[in-house]
Amino acid sequence: MRIVTSSQMKQIEQRADQNGLFYYDMMENAGTAAANSIMSKISPRDKRVLVYAGKGNNGGDGFVVARLLFQAGAKVKVVLVDGEPVTEDAAANFDLLHDLEIGVLDFLNDEPQLQVLLRDVDIIVDAIYGTGFHGALRKTARLAARSINGAIAAVFSLDLPSGVNSDNGESDKDAVQADFTIAFDSLKPAHLIYPAAGRCGAVECAEIGIVPQWRTDLPRTFLHITPEMVMEAIPERPVDSHKGTFGKLLNISSSLGMTGAAKLSVLGAQRVGTGLVTLAAPRSLISLHAASLTEAVFLPLIENEAGTVARTAAVQLGPKLEQSSACLIGCGLSNNDDTAAVVEFVVKNAKCPLLIDADGINALGRNIDILSEAAGPVVLTPHPAELARLLNVETEDLLAHRVKYGRAFAQKYNLTLVFKGAHTLVFAPDERVFINTTGNNGLAKGGSGDLLAGMIAGLMAQGIPPLQSAMCGVWLHGAAADRCADRLSKTAMLPSDILTDLCGLFREYNR
């Protein structure tokens, strides 16, 4: 699905206006599409409707909806939140209401009357703010949003729930909680990025008359990951191939007590088609791993007294890195001075693409600046708590400002950042953000991240560039998890079960 920022949307509308689709017409089209969407869900006749309108063009859309629902038989009242409209088209549409039996209330001055109406309202149309909103809700709009959220009614937000930022997915804590959001022309980042995405309810995208060529040349900074993008990045396997064709992954993982993490990461890499996976693990654990990882090969590493990789293992890893097409470090590796030294060695010496996960990320927390000395391209796959530790911020703050923190981090260290969570975000070293909407909360279990790390690393080992590997990995992982949930339930499914569904996915796409 197409995603545009608020300034791009303004540009598109400007071009439309210059080409004869005037602002006024677009407002009529937007309001008509929204009214039709509402009426397709709830028969309007005799329904009690409150349209909360701001003073900008989002409010103007609201006036169009008010008029159309009234004409279809609803009992409509308009609630002005910031006073009378200030834009030309919104004012024109406001004027059209005067000849109709549509009561107009002022949110502050007519509060007692509004309280009565709110007791038995059927539909609330939220047209306070759209793409023009920035920062925090001010006093009156905050009270208005709270009154919407406190009412028992179906809430339809026009373009965006009021109180969310269109471009970065941030949300005021009192932003409108919609049941449905009708986006105009294109999705905006907020429709897909949390926490704003969580305010939207079900999202529909409505045509307002824009012609594709008015938007084709705009740079795509936010991209929704689609199966087509994924399958285009993963080549079909050539007929005359051999295991060397599909790369060699060096996976430096495992420690006493966390062997499962290493195992899942190996299986993840194998199931995305990697030619050969070498598990480099503390030597006392090799026989245990060898008993279940039939298709892997092993590099027994020098270990310390704690049963974790010793810093002296660097001498073993150096030559192996030279022979590998990608490296993964960190799944169940443990976090101590020795593992930190090994992580530092690998970051500074891996010329092939390197994925750092879990304890590898924790090790970076000791000296994050070694990332600036990376010998090759780096992908990081932290979960929110790991990233928060790394950035030295509170997890809550990080989750509220995902785009701000994620983008700055990926750019500063010139790496690909996989920001895991509901709708995982993949930040490219440039400005781009890839948004993944596959996956479900059945993935919220130990082992999911290890599987994902192995999958992305396995794709990198096959020569798929790191950014594309991350994008493909998160989509495949989530899509397989969705199938798995259908088969086994979100509650009972395990990360290892997802591997079976991954096979089904590849079969379906002929890979």
Residues near K ion (CB under 5 A) are 126, 157-158, 162
Of 71-79, 132-140, 376-384, 459-467, the segment contacting ligand NAX by CB under 6 A is 132-140
DSSP label of 445: S
Is 345 marked within a binding site?
no
> What CA–CA distance (Å, rounded) separates 123 from 49?
5
Asked whether position 4 contacts ligand NAX by CB under 6 A, the answer is no
Asked whether position 131 contacts ligand NAX by CB under 6 A, the answer is yes
String marking each residue 207-226 x if it binds ligand NAX according to CB under 6 A: -x------------------
Is 478 marked within a binding site?
no
Q: Are 423 and 194 in contact (CB under 8 A)?
A: yes
Is 131 marked within a binding site?
yes
Comparison of 33 and 498: residue with beta carbon closer to ligand NAX = 33
String marking each residue 133-172 x if it binds ligand NAX according to CB under 6 A: xxxx-x--x----------------xx-------------
Comparison of 37 and 496: residue with beta carbon closer to ligand NAX = 37
Based on the number of CB atoms within 10 Å of its own CB, is 422 exposed (0-12), middle (13-18) or buried (19 or more)? middle
Residue 34: enclosing H or E segment and its boundaries? Answer: helix 23-41
> What CA–CA distance (Å, rounded) separates 419 from 511?
27
Question: Which of 378, 355, 365, 392 lies closest to 429 in space, CA to CA?
Answer: 378
Which structure tokens are listed for 307? Answer: 């049963």
> What CA–CA distance (Å, rounded) separates 197 from 192?
5
Which structure tokens are listed for 277? Answer: 């996976």
Comparison of 58 and 177: residue with beta carbon closer to ligand NAX = 58
CB contact burial 71-89 (16+ within 10 A = b; e otherwise): ebebbbbbbbbbeebebeb
String marking each residue 62-101 x if it binds ligand NAX according to CB under 6 A: -------------------------x--------------
Least distance in angstroms from the C-beta of 164 to K ion: 9
String marking each residue 20-59 x if it binds ligand NAX according to CB under 6 A: ---x--xx--x-----------------------xxxxxx
Residue 390: enclosing H or E segment and its boundaries? Answer: helix 384-391
Comparison of 82 and 126: residue with beta carbon closer to K ion = 126
Q: Are strands 425-427 and 416-419 parallel, antiparallel or unpaired?
A: antiparallel
Asked whether position 442 contacts ligand NAX by CB under 6 A, the answer is no
Residue 75: enclosing H or E segment and its boundaries? Answer: strand 75-80
Q: Please enumerate, by residue number, every residue annotated as part of a binding site for (6S)-NADPHX.
A: 57-61, 130-136, 159, 261, 332, 383, 450
Q: Residues interacting with ligand NAX, by CB under 6 A? A: 13, 23, 26-27, 30, 54-61, 87, 129-136, 138, 141, 158-159, 184, 208
